[in-house]
A and B are shown apart, each in its own frame.
Chain A
C-alpha cells in the first residue's frame, strides 16, 4: 500500500515545483549577477563580444566610480613620484591621475537621507493614522480611507508638472526636505492601509487590559500595540524604503544638485571619459546594498508580513 495524502504533494510534484522555482530564481537573479560581475571587469572585458564569463577581476570600476581623473602625457606621468596608493596605481595604468573625489558619495548619502527619512516619516505617520482609523470613531471614516487609497490609483508621475511648479514656488526643488515630503506623500497611503490591516488584527482587549492596569491610552498604544504591530511596521517600512530608494522619475525632475539621489546620478557616470560600464555597474551594485541589508535584517518580519491576513495566530 502506498500512502496517499491530499495535503502532501507527491514526489514528482515536488520535483517539478523545485525545478520551476530554481528556473525562476535563475532568471530573476541573472541581471543582478551580470551587474555585480561587470563592476569587477575591465572596460574592455565589459564590452567584449561574446561576453566573457571568466575574466580577471579588477577594482578599476570602483576606483573610477569614486574619483574624477584627468589624462596626462606619458612624460608628465614619468615625472611624478611613484603612486602612493593602490588605487592611484590603477588610475595611472590608464595614463591618468586622480583629480579628486567624484560626487557619487554625496549622491549616495542623499539617497540614504531621503530614502530612510521618508520611510521613517511614512511609517510614523502611517502607524498613528492607522491606529486612529482602526480604533476610534472617525467621522466619514470610510470616505477618508477611500480618499487615501485613491491617491494610489494613478501613477504618481502623472502629477509631475503640478508638483514641479508647486516645489518651485515653495522653494522645495532640489532640497532634501522636498524629496522626503514627496516620497512620504506617495508612500503614506500604502502605509496607512497596510498598517490598518495589521492593527485591526490586534485584539482591543490588550489595550483595554493596559488601560485597566493603569496606563494611559498613549502608553497602551506605545507599550502594547506597537510591539504587536512590529511585523506590520517592518514590512511596511520595507515597501516604503524600496519605493523611495528606487524612485527615478521625480528624482530626475526635481533634483539636480544638492539633493540629487543616486538613481539619476548613476547614468551620468557613463559620460565621464568614455562609456565606463564597470563604473556604472559598480555604482548600481553599491546602491543595492542598503536595501538588501535592510531587507535581510527585517526578513523574519517580512515573510510574515507579506502573507498577513492569510493565517491567523
Chain B
C-alpha cells in the first residue's frame, strides 16, 4: 500500500492544456475522489498516475519513489476502466489470473489466489464463463477482481460505476467502499457525481478546466468551499450566491446587504468591491423577524424537507426548510442566515475570502 504525492503535474495534448499544475497528496489507505465536470482532466490525471499517459511536466511519487516517466507495467498499480476492458477472448478465470501470470507466479498459487478473490467478490460460480455474456454487475466484479488479485500498491478507478444503472450503482458503491475498508488499499476514484464523491470518499479533489480547485475532506469541501466553482458544484441545490457591493475589514463580523446587517464569521482579510455572500440552502431560515426579505417564487416538496425558491434584492435564493412550514407563493417573508456558515467570495476571482470559518482549510488547500 502506498502514499501518492502529485506535484505540479501538467499535461498538454498538442497545444491543448488538459491538466494545469495539479498538486495534492493521497495518504496511505485513503479512498480518494477525483471530482469534476466532464472534460476537466480527471481521467488524464488518473492515467498519468497509472502510467498510461506521460506527464508534460511535474512529479508523481508513489511510496516516495518518483515514477512520472516510468511505464505502467513497472508501477504496480491496478486500474479499473470505465467500460471494464475485460479481455474478451478469455473466460473469467483467465481474466483474473492474467495479472498473476505476468509476475511468473506458480500455477497452484495462482489458482488459490483466484479462488480467494472470487470468494471475496462472490463470483466463484461464474469462473468458467466467458466474459461476453456477463451482466453489468458481474463484469464490474470481475474487473475489480482483476484489480485486487495482485495486491497492487494502489487502485485507480475511472468512473467504475458509470456503466451501471442507477439502482445497481448504489449497491455496488456500498460494496466497493466495504471492499476498500476491508483491504485498506489506497484508492483513487474518478467521478463526476458529487453525491457519489461525498458518500464514498475520505478526501476529495475538485477539478475544473484542468485546475485543482480544492482538495480536502467531504465536510470541509462542503462547508468551507475555497472557490465559487466548488460551492456551486457541490451540494444539491448548490450554495446560494447573493451578490453585493461592499467593503469588509479584517476582523469584521457582519456585512451590509441591501441596508440589512448580516452576521458572518470573523474575517481574516479585507476586501472591497464586488463581493458574494454565500449561504447553503439549509442554513436559510424563513422567519417573520428577519429584516432581510424575499418573495416566494416556488416550492418543491421533497418529503421531509422542501426547497423554497425566493427572489431577493441580491438575486434568487433557495432555502431548504421543513415541509411542515408553510410558504405561500407570492408572499414576502423575512430571512435569517446562520452566520457561522457564511462564506464570502470575491466575485472577480471567485475565491473565498479568508475568515474564522475557512482559514484552516484555505491555508493548506
Contacts and interface: CB of A to CB of B under 8 A. Distances in A.
Contact of B89 (A203, A205, A214, A227): A227
A212 B78 contact: yes
B85 A209 contact: yes
A209 B87 contact: yes
B72, B76, B78, B99 interface centre (most CB from chain A within 10 Å):
B72
A224 B51 CA distance: 19
A234 to B, nearest CB: 14
B81 A209 contact: yes
Interface in B71-112: 71-73, 76-79, 81, 83, 85-89, 98-99, 102-103
A213 B52 contact: no
Given A208-B72, A209-B79, A215 B102 contact: yes
B11 to A, nearest CB: 15
A207 to B, nearest CB: 9
B50 interface: yes
Interface in A196-214: 203, 205-206, 208-214
B68 to A, nearest CB: 16
Contacts of A275: none
B146 interface: yes
A213 B71 contact: no
A216 interface: yes
Nearest to A137: B14
A217 B50 CA distance: 15
A203 to B, nearest CB: 7
Interface string A217-237: 101000010011000000000
Of the candidates A205, A210, A213, A227, the one having the most CB atoms from chain B within 10 angstroms of its own CB is: A213
B85 A205 contact: yes
Contacts of A224: 87
A221 to B, nearest CB: 13
Given A216-B73, A227-B89, A208 B103 contact: no
Nearest to B84: A205
A245 B265 CA distance: 86
Contacts of B146: 209, 213
Interface residues on B, range: 20 to 34
Given A203-B83, A205-B81, A205-B83, A212 B89 contact: no
Contacts of A214: 73, 76, 99, 102-103, 150
B79 A215 contact: no
Given A212-B72, A212-B73, A216-B73, A206 B85 contact: yes
B99 A203 contact: no
B97 to A, nearest CB: 10
Interface string B19-39: 000000000000000000000
A208 B81 contact: yes
Contacts of A208: 52, 72, 79, 81, 85
Nearest to A209: B85
Contacts of A211: 51-52, 71-73
B185 to A, nearest CB: 15
A135 to B, nearest CB: 12
Contacts of A203: 83, 85
A168 B146 CA distance: 58
A213 B102 contact: yes
A212 B103 CA distance: 12
A52 to B, nearest CB: 53
Interface string B43-84: 000000011100000000000000000011100111101010
B87 A212 contact: no
A205 B86 CA distance: 9
A26 B250 CA distance: 96
Nearest to B102: A214
Contacts of B102: 213-215, 219
A219 B98 CA distance: 12
Contacts of B52: 208, 211-212
B98 A213 contact: yes
Nearest to B81: A205
Contacts of A219: 102
A224 B77 CA distance: 19
Contacts of B73: 211-216
A289 to B, nearest CB: 31
Nearest to A212: B79
A212 B52 CA distance: 8
A231 B146 CA distance: 27
B89 A228 contact: yes
Nearest to B158: A205
B88 A212 contact: no
A215 B150 CA distance: 13
Q: Which of B51, B73, B86, B146 has the most CB of A within 10 A?
A: B73
A241 B21 CA distance: 54
Contacts of A213: 73, 98-99, 102, 146, 150
Which of A205, A215, A224 has its CB near the most chain B CB atoms (within 10 A)? A205
With a 10 A CB-CB cut-off, give which of A203, A205, A212, A216 has the most chain B CB atoms: A212
A211 B83 CA distance: 16
Contacts of B87: 206, 209-210, 224
Contacts of B72: 208, 211-212
A205 B52 CA distance: 10
B99 to A, nearest CB: 4
Interface of A: 203, 205-206, 208-217, 219, 224, 227-228
Interface of B: 50-52, 71-73, 76-79, 81, 83, 85-89, 98-99, 102-103, 146, 150
Given A205-B85, A211-B52, 5 more contacts: A206-B85, A206-B88, A212-B52, A213-B150, A215-B102
17 contacts: A205-B81, A208-B79, A209-B85, A209-B87, A210-B98, A211-B71, A212-B52, A212-B72, A212-B73, A212-B99, A213-B150, A214-B76, A214-B102, A216-B73, A217-B71, A219-B102, A224-B87
**CB-CB nearest 6 A-B residue pairs:** A205-B85, A214-B102, A213-B99, A211-B72, A212-B79, A227-B89
